[in-house]
A = this chain, B = another copy of it.
């Protein structure tokens, strides 16, 4: 059977912001997929199980089984989808704008998220103020960068990979009770994106593994 006929499987956790990025990409591109929930808290973290380690040695979600391979790392997955299923595109056609979309994505994915996630919090001793501090520093820079790149969304008026990173990061900021008032551009873009169906169906409060009390 051709691998293209096999439905992709996304290993995901409802609350993982990295998983949400990929769920948005799959929704925007209209790719049907199955979800395999991996609970990052239960059983000491199901991502550490022998079973899941065989899927992804990085012991992280998301991982995507697709076209006969298993990929991990959200941006690598999104860019693979972009190169194999180009419509609608998630990277602008203009090369400078593409670079800016990647720059904003990397800023969030490697500059903010790792310094506020579970691994980090365990190591600093659950110091929420460091997580808040790191998000705040990151958002301060992002707000300035968006002055130069944004239209309705992060890069002009077309949804791009940067937007797929922005919305889950703003959601995390809200969970950490970061004051978003100093970031009017971030807040405006986030609001506009949350109006789109792909961002709604992929939302953490609406996944197969979302606990009943968190569903909306």
For residue A197, CB closer than 8 A to chain B, the reply is no
Tell me if A183 is interfacial: C-beta within 8 Å of chain B: no
Q: Given A60-B111, A141-B58, do A99 and B123 touch, yes or no (CB 8 Å)?
A: no
Report the contact-size class of chain A (Cβ under 8 Å from the partner): 35 or more
| Residue of B whose beta carbon sits closest to that of A69 | B96
Q: How far is the CA of A67 from the CA of B96 in the complex (A)?
A: 9
| Known contacts A80-B99, A98-B80, A124-B124; A110/B73 CB under 8 A | yes
In the bound complex, residues from chain B placing their C-beta under 8 Å from that of A60 are: 111
B residues in contact with A134, CB < 8 Å: 119, 123
5 A-B pairs whose Cβ atoms sit less than 8 Å apart in the complex: A71-B100, A76-B100, A76-B105, A80-B102, A123-B130
Chain A positions near chain B (C-beta within 8 angstroms): 57-60, 67, 69, 71-77, 79-80, 83-84, 95-96, 98-100, 102-103, 105-107, 109-111, 113-115, 119-120, 123-124, 127, 130, 134, 140-141, 144-145
